[in-house]
Every structure is written in structure tokens, then in C-alpha cells.
Amino acid sequence: MRARYHPLLRLLHWLTAVLIAGLFIAGGWIVYFDPGDGPLKDTLYHLHESTGMLVWLLVLMRIAVRLATGAPRLPPDTPGIVRFLATANHVALYAVLLAQPLIGLTDANAWGAPLHWYGLFEVPWFIGKTGEPVAQALSSLHWLAAAVLLALLAMHIAGAAYHALVRRDGVLRHMA
Ligand code: HEM
Ligand code: HEM
């Protein structure tokens, strides 16, 4: 029985958390604090899109390591509803983290923008440039998935606080 997640999973958990914070900052900056057309906007797009695809790769790797190495058990006295909510939250987080970068890539393609991954190579196009209504719908879907991700993260952090402050059951150490 392991007391904590595999070290690689702990590293990937916190690395993904930092990268996702960066994605929200860059994405939000582009959309809500108009940086104006120019090099800054191009850099923000480039970093947001390349890092979003990096997160996708890290999440794939994380799921593989997780399936291979398992997880620590919750304390035996954890109520069934808490176990259920924790599992549902984790599965939903993985699902959104896998879907969102692909939605973003399709969204960028639909607007006619290819992605040169950190300037190294061009990521294959999912779909070519589309008409504006389709591109707009994909942008809305990307926004919606970001909102769902934020809500899931709020629940995740509330769950962490519940374990740390109310139950004081050491669950945070699983990921420390
Ligand atoms: C973008 C930010 C984050 C993402 C995407 C994320 C995602 C996840 C996922 C998917 C799991 C499930 C691991 C598994 O069983 O495979 C997990 C576990 C965990 N996370 Fe996060 N997390 C984030 C931020 C945080 C923060 C800020 C905290 C602490 C305040 C935290 C604390 C934990 C803990 C303690 C666990 C282990 C829970 C357990 O043992 O059942 N996470 N996280
Ligand atoms: C986990 C990964 C990602 C997260 C959490 C994320 C989050 C966000 C957020 C919060 C915004 C600003 C709000 C809005 O959507 O209007 C945004 C905008 C945007 N993102 Fe992402 N993003 C991710 C991955 C990607 C990827 C991989 C691409 C493209 C390859 C991409 C392309 C875009 C584009 C083009 C915008 C500008 C508005 C639009 O057309 O949707 N994103 N993203």
C-alpha cells in the first residue's frame, strides 16, 4: 500500500498546476485585456497554444503512470459520498484536461492559425480554416471548457481544504 503518489505523479501534478495557471493568465490576457495586434499578442498566443499542447502530452503521460502505479487509499473512515465526489472530480478533471487542448487546437485551426510548437515544428492541422460561424462556435466551446475546468478546480481546492482543515486526515500528504 503506498502512502503517497508515485514521485513522477507528484511532480506532474504540481507542474501541470503551474502550467494551467499560466494558460489562464495568457488566455485571459489575450481575450479580456486586449494586448493590441503586435509581437506581444503573437507571443501570448504562441506560448498559450504551445503550452496547452504540452499540458495535453503531460496529462497523457500522467494517466499512463497513474494506471501503472496506482494511488494511495483514502483513510478508512472517509464517508462514501466524499470518496464518490473525489473520484468524480478527478475523472472529470482528467477528461477536461484531455479535451480542452484539442478543442483549442481545432479552434485555432478554424480561425486559420497553424501552430508551430515552441517554434520547433508545425502541429498537424485538425481541420482547415472554416467559416466564421464555426470558428466562433469553437471559441465559445473553448471558453465553456475553461469555465468548467475552473469550477472543477474550485471544487478540487475546496476538497483539499476540507481534508486539511475539517477532517485533518493527512490526505494532502498524498500529493506533497
Ligand atoms: C490546475 C490545478 C490542479 C489540477 C489540474 C489538479 C488535478 C488533480 C487530479 C487529476 C488528481 C487525481 C490524481 C489521481 O488520483 O490520479 C489530483 C489529486 C490531488 N490534488 Fe490536485 N490538481 C490541481 C491543483 C491542486 C491544488 C492547488 C491542491 C492543493 C491545495 C491539490 C491537491 C491535491 C491532492 C491532495 C490530491 C490527492 C487526493 C487523494 O489522494 O485522493 N491539487 N489533482
Ligand atoms: C488545458 C489547456 C488549455 C486551457 C486551460 C485554455 C484556456 C484558455 C482560456 C481561459 C482562454 C481565454 C478565455 C476564452 O476562451 O475566451 C483561452 C483562449 C484561447 N485559447 Fe486556450 N486553453 C488551453 C489550450 C489551448 C490550446 C492547445 C490552443 C491552441 C492550440 C488554445 C487556443 C486558444 C485560443 C486561439 C484562444 C483565444 C480565444 C479563442 O479563439 O478561443 N488553447 N484558452
Q: Which of 106, 109, 110 is nearest to 134 (CA)?
A: 110
Classify residue 76: in a domain, yes or no. yes
Per-residue pLDDT for 4 more than 80? yes
* Residue 157 pLDDT: 98
Per-residue pLDDT for 115 more than 90? yes
CA distance 30 to 40: 9
Per-residue pLDDT for 148 more than 80? yes
Residue 139: nearest ligand to its CA? 2
Classify residue 107: in a domain, yes or no. yes
Classify residue 164: in a domain, yes or no. yes
Classify residue 51: in a domain, yes or no. yes
Classify residue 12: in a domain, yes or no. yes
Over residues 118-141, the pLDDT tens digits come to: 999 999 988 889 999 999 999 999
Over residues 9-50, the pLDDT tens digits come to: 999 999 999 999 999 999 999 999 988 889 999 999 999 999
Any bridge partners for residue 121, and if so which?
117
Percent of the chain with pLDDT over 90: 94
Q: Is the CB of 59 under 6 A from ligand 2?
A: no
Residue 110: nearest ligand to its CA? 2
Task: Give the position, in ligand 1's atom list, of the atom nearest the Cα of 174.
Answer: 40
Per-residue pLDDT for 1 more than 80? no
* Residue 126 pLDDT: 80
Q: Is the CB of 142 under 6 A from ligand 2?
A: yes
Domain count, the chain: 1
Over residues 70-82, the pLDDT tens digits come to: 999 999 999 999 9
Q: Considering only CA atoms, which residue is closest to atom 19 of ligand 2?
A: 27
CATH of the domain at 94: 1.20.950.20
Q: How far is CA 16 from the centre of its chain?
A: 7
Instruction: Report the chain's mean pLDDT, rounded to a whole number.
Output: 96
Check if the beta carbon of residue 22 is closer than 8 Å to that of residue 51: yes
Beta strands in 27-140 (DSSP E): 116-117, 121-122
Task: Give me the amino acid identity at 32.
Answer: Y
